[in-house]
Chains A and B, each alone.
Chain A
Amino acid sequence: MESATAIMLSRLDFAWVASMHFLYPPLTIGLALLLFLAEWRWLRTDDDTWYRLTRFFEKLFIINFGAGVATGVTMEMAFGILYGPFSQAAGPYFGNVLGYETITAFMYEAGFIGLMIFGWGKISRRMHLFSTFNVMLSSTLSAFWIMNANSWMQTPTGVELRDGIFHVTDWGAAIFNPNFLPSFAHMWVAAVELALFVVIGVSAWYLLKKRHEDMFSRPLAYALVAAALVAPLQVYLGDDLGQVVAEHQPAALAAMEGHYHTYAPDGSVNTGWHIVAWPDDAAGENRWALTIPHALSLIETHTWNGKVPGLDQTPKANRPPVWIPFYGFRVMLAIGFFLVLVAFWGVWMVYTRRLFSAGGRARRWFLRTAVFSAFLPFLAIWTGWWTREVARQPWLVDGMMRIEQGVSRMTVAEAAIWLVGFIIFELVVWFFTWYFMAKVIRQGPDLEAPVLRGGDDAIGHLESQPGADDARPAYERP
């Protein structure tokens, strides 16, 4: 029955389902904010370009949202199915938080998204803006609770484990666990950055194709300026989160940095930061590494020779595997810095007016880079999450519950059915999401449709019309 293969498979199942789900919500969260701002500008200026832009990006938003809901419902069930014992034990806190997420965020969002998408022209402009605002707020709330549940797994405070169940002793301490605020900020800003770069990428593509140039240079310029503020902020927030991980999860941090030895062989503090390395978990060291001395302690302790505990401070059984966190972290970091450069480059292009002048090789290269940059934040969010989750191994709830205690006892066949089914499934969703997004972008914004100002269309009628086929009852007592 119970085998290492089955456990490995169900963990893979969950990793797959979670990773594929997480392609969508960040864009929903970030884009909702940008849609709200664009629609608000439309109300303030009455400039129809803002309306067209809102309606156009809203189409992308809808496709993405649908995929996010479909894959998200799976997530909620996946906890119970793949991690039954964990769900039972952690239910009192973790389950409650997920419950709040469904009630305060998910339901809230569903309530207003219908109005936002189909309410154009049916409700007044103000009411519609209010709906968009609520979609933005509720998607942010959903990030709030989900990050809360996950950060509690990283730093479980405010609970005690009695008889195999986590009893909540202090709600405040559990909700505001040390990892929570920095990681929530990091995630929310990541979502905004992602949405900005998607808007930048799409707009740049139109400029490259010389379509709707006037219309799309506006969001391009605005989004570049915003990205120049947001991208560096994100790097700073990441560093901030790193400090918290260093303080509370030294083993996780050591795995992220491939930092096996606290001290160098000569007894001095090991302060090297590896750019690339070949970690060997069995031997407990890197086979080779390209190292910058002192960089690690500068990053983590902000001092020249600070001590950073290595993996040798943790017993072998409690060490996370190093490969995924090490490279995941580096990919995320590289993308983060690259996006800062792209944003600054863009602002310089805007400032020197080169972005809007016709032709020019520099402009073309910038636009191509901008289109390419739209894909990078997705990868950064993925690698960031893989780093976060794998670096917590072998713990499910850090220091309190191990993976093998929390995973459902499935047979290999059960786990394999899941995996195969969901691989096919999520790939189908993913393919069609991109397919339709590409289609919407190729079609371009609709410049013909009348601008729906709202409230002037008939909402419909509830009374029966005379002369209709069943205005008379089908059956009357004689």
Chain B
Amino acid sequence: MPADIGELHLFVIYAWWFALGFSLLLYIMLDGADLGAGVFSLFVRDPDERGGIMAAMAGTWDANETWLVVAGGVLFGTFPLVYGSAFHYLMLPLIIVLWSIMMRAIALEFRHHSERSAHLWDGLFGVASLTTLFFAGMAMGAVLEGYPLTEGNVPTYAGGMFRFISPFSLWTGVGAVVAASLAGSLFIRARFERTEAIRRHAARWVDRSFYASLVAVVVTVVWSLLKFPWAADKWLGPYFWVWGLVALAVVYAVVRMRRSSRHGRDLFAILWLNAAIAIMWLAMMFTMLPWLVPNTWTIYDAASPSVSLVTFTMAMGGFLPVMLIYNWYQIWVFRARISKLTGYGHH
């Protein structure tokens, strides 16, 4: 940690680091379910049901996706050195994620204007959801592995465009798809009328993807422990009992989620799943400290020299709560369960 950073400045850097993690977490929680529902829709035969899945997120997908853009904005504004270099390193996966997100948005927007081309948009929606998840997960894993930098005042990425591909990043890509399938099937269970057949279909998915996610999480944690010294040092260090408690909290949330979903309390199942995700996400952020990109950028070196308490307070104190309020209000307005025939046509 550099010596010339004042205490106040340090506080602001931490606060922004937390805001960045928070926006990404919200994105994963909110859009993860939408993306997972998209993957699920690939396995749905009935076109009305597929339309229903898209209608289920019609009022909220756009706001959910916006958290990713907010995270991008925070990264650009606060940690421009990471933004410029990491995006260059992750160029290929991010381009594919972008194309997928765009295609998905278009499919969602255009489907209800279409008659003959509906199946095209359905397929596009599903495939784009899948590729978004896989490559975003891959990018995530690639960031954990770090990347080489050039020398100089403003270090940039030094390496080729395929460097992000590794066994670990391929695995995190798969893991993202698996975990999102769980969130997506829970979302569908919560969004459809209780008499709809699709809910039974989704219930089978909840079971399968639940065990798959469990395996995925355990493998990822063990792999990280063996692969990343910075993680092993933290987890097996003097505070190992804190990390143990964190793991117990995750297990508790998962058990509660399982119970809620079996009892048909769909909303609680989603909330418990999100609690588990949030605990794991925060644990990951704290495991990475002081790195923002492990072995590449510490949060002190990457922070913009212009971050000031004023701008932070303005943005986070003023806008974030407001954003949360209308995000919540929107979800509240569109909370009603739908039937597959509701579709798009009747808004």
Contact = CB atoms under 8 A, between A and B. Distances in A.
B244 interface: no
B337 interface: yes
B336 A471 contact: no
B166 interface: no
A80 B315 CA distance: 22
B223 interface: no
A473 B304 contact: no
Interface in B86-142: 86-88, 91, 94-95, 98-99, 101-103, 105-106, 108-110, 113-114
A425 interface: yes
A184 B337 CA distance: 43
Interface stretch (A119-127, A199-207, A245-253, A259-267): A119-127
Nearest to B152: A164
B241 interface: no
A95 B307 CA distance: 11
Interface in B305-327: 305-307, 311, 315, 319-320, 322-323, 326-327
A459 B68 CA distance: 29
Given A120-B347, A429-B102, A81 B109 contact: no
Given A77-B87, A99-B315, A118-B334, A70 B267 contact: no
B8 interface: no
B198 to A, nearest CB: 11
Interface string A446-478: 000000000000111110110011110111000
A459 B332 CA distance: 10
Nearest to B328: A111
B80 A91 contact: yes
Name, among A62, A70, A101, A417, the residue most crowded by chain B CB atoms within 10 Å (CB to CB).
A70
Given A106-B66, A471-B194, A99 B77 contact: yes
A340 B10 CA distance: 56
B80 A469 contact: no
Interface stretch (A82-90, A185-193, A325-333, A368-376): A82-90
Given A93-B306, A168-B306, A77 B336 contact: no
Nearest to A69: B105
Nearest to A462: B335
Contacts of A67: 106, 109
B163 interface: no
B242 interface: no
B194 A102 contact: no
A174 to B, nearest CB: 10
Contact of B73 (A99, A113, A458): A99
A429 B106 contact: yes
Interface in A381-435: 408-411, 414, 417-418, 421, 425, 428-429, 432
A76 B72 contact: yes
A137 to B, nearest CB: 13
A67 B102 CA distance: 8
B264 interface: yes
A470 B110 contact: no
B156 interface: yes
A114 interface: yes
Name, among A74, A81, A111, the residue most crowded by chain B CB atoms within 10 Å (CB to CB).
A111
Contact of A84 (B84, B101, B267, B305): B84
A225 interface: no
B154 A89 contact: yes
A69 B62 contact: yes
A87 B76 contact: yes
A269 B326 CA distance: 60
Interface in A232-266: none
Contacts of A106: 66, 69-70, 73
A119 B335 CA distance: 12
A425 B99 contact: yes
B157 A468 contact: no
A196 B68 CA distance: 33
Name, among B59, B86, B103, B161, the residue most crowded by chain A CB atoms within 10 Å (CB to CB).
B59
A102 B73 contact: yes
Nearest to A119: B333
B109 A111 contact: no
Interface of A is mostly: helix
B262 interface: yes
Nearest to A174: B306
A57 interface: no
Contacts of A83: 84
A87 B83 contact: yes
Given A88-B80, A110-B63, A111-B330, A165 B70 contact: no
Nearest to A418: B95
A377 B103 CA distance: 27
A112 interface: yes
Contact of B63 (A107, A428, A464, A468): A107
Given A63-B113, A67-B109, A99-B73, A84 B78 contact: no
A444 interface: no
A186 B189 CA distance: 49
A164 B305 CA distance: 12
A91 B304 contact: yes
Contacts of B88: 80-81, 84, 408
Contacts of B161: 411, 414
A459 B109 contact: no
A92 B305 CA distance: 7
Contacts of B80: 87-92, 95
Contacts of A429: 102, 106
B129 to A, nearest CB: 14
B333 A122 contact: yes
Contact of A63 (B79, B110, B327): B110
B45 interface: no
B85 interface: yes
B58 A118 contact: yes
A429 B77 CA distance: 29
B50 interface: no
Nearest to B161: A414
Contacts of B113: 63, 436, 439-440
A89 B110 CA distance: 39
Contacts of A301: none
Contacts of B69: 73, 76, 102, 106-107
Interface of A: 62-63, 65-67, 69-71, 73-74, 76-77, 79-81, 83-93, 95-104, 106-108, 110-115, 117-120, 122-123, 163-165, 167-168, 171, 408-411, 414, 417-418, 421, 425, 428-429, 432, 436, 439-440, 458-462, 464-465, 468-471, 473-475
12 contacts: A84-B157, A89-B154, A95-B83, A107-B69, A111-B66, A111-B327, A115-B330, A117-B347, A421-B99, A439-B113, A470-B200, A474-B263
**Nearest 4 CB-CB pairings of A with B:** A91-B80, A460-B336, A99-B77, A66-B109
Given A63-B110, A436-B113, 13 more contacts: A74-B98, A74-B102, A81-B87, A85-B84, A88-B81, A110-B63, A114-B58, A117-B59, A117-B347, A163-B153, A414-B161, A470-B199, A470-B264
